[in-house]
Amino acid sequence: MASSGFFKAVVDEDLEDGKLEIVGFVAINCKDFLRHSIVLTVPNGAVWPMELKMINGSVWLTKGWLEFANFYSLEQDCYIFLRVFIINDSCFRVHILNKIDHPFKSIQPEFSEEGYDAFSRAKRFKSDHPCLTVKIQPPYLIRDLRMNGHFVNQHICGVGDSRKVNLQIPNGKTWSAKCSVFLSSNKIHAKLYGGWTKFAAKNGLQVGDACVLELIKERPKMTFLGHIFFHK
Mind listing the pLDDT tens digit for each residue in 147-168? 999 999 999 999 999 999 999 9
More confident position, 39 or 161:
161
Full domain range(s) for residue 121: 108-229
Residues 118 and 209 sit within 8 Å (Cβ to Cβ): yes
Alpha helices, DSSP H only, in 59-215? 65-71, 103-110, 116-123, 149-155, 196-202
| pLDDT of 84 | 61
Residue type, 104: F
Q: In what order do the strands lie in the sheet with 37-41?
A: 2-9, 78-86, 90-99, 37-41, 47-55, 58-61, 20-22
The dihedral region occupied by 123, where left means phi > 0, alpha psi between -120 and 50, and beta the remainder, is: alpha
Say if residue 206 is in the same domain as residue 122: yes
pLDDT (average), residues 50-60: 81
- 171 and 135 within one domain: yes
89, 33 contact by CB (below 8 A): yes
Question: Is 176 found in the same domain as 72?
Answer: no
> Where residue 112 falls among pLDDT bands split at 50, 70, 90?
very low
Residues 117, 33 within the same domain:
no
Count up the domains in the chain and report the number.
2
CA dist., res. 13 & res. 44, Å (int): 27
Q: Both 112 and 173 in a single domain? A: yes
Highest mean pLDDT among 111-115, 121-125, 150-154, 199-203: 150-154
Residue at which a domain ends, from 60, 75, 99: 99
Q: Are 174 and 188 in contact (CB under 8 A)?
A: no
Residues 110-147 as b/e (b if ≥16 CB within 10 A, e otherwise) read bbeebbeebbebbeeeeeeeebbbbbbbbbbbeebbbb
> Given 72, 99, 126, which residue is the final one in a domain?
99
CB atoms within 10 A of CB 91: 17
Comparing 22-31, 127-136, 196-205, 206-215, which segment has the lowest mean pLDDT? 22-31
CB 80 within 8 A of CB 10: yes
Give the three-class secondary structure for 226: strand
Q: Rounded to an integer, what distance in angstroms lies between the CA atom of residue 8 and that of residue 100? A: 10
Query: Is 148 in the same domain as 71?
Result: no
pLDDT (average), residues 204-230: 89
Mean of the per-residue pLDDT values of the chain:
78
> Confidence band (pLDDT; 50, 70, 90) for 63?
confident
What pLDDT shows up at residue 15?
A: 85
Q: Which residue has the higher pLDDT, 194 or 50?
A: 194
More confident position, 35 or 139 = 139
pLDDT at 91: 56
In the prediction, which pLDDT does 180 show?
96
Residues 123 and 95 in one domain: no
| The pLDDT of residue 27 | 57
What pTM value is reported for the model? 0.52
Asked whether 61 and 42 are in contact (CB, 8 A), the reply is no
Claim to verify: residue 149 and residue 224 sit in the same structural domain? yes
Share of the chain above pLDDT 90, in %: 28
DSSP letter for 142, please: T
For 28-80, the DSSP string reads HHHGGGTTSEEEEE-TT--EEEEEEEEETTEEEE-TTHHHHHHHTT--TTEEE
Give the CATH number for residue 87: 2.40.330.10
Q: Which of 82, 99, 116 is the last residue of a domain?
A: 99
* Judgement on whether residues 127 and 169 belong to the same structural domain of the protein: yes
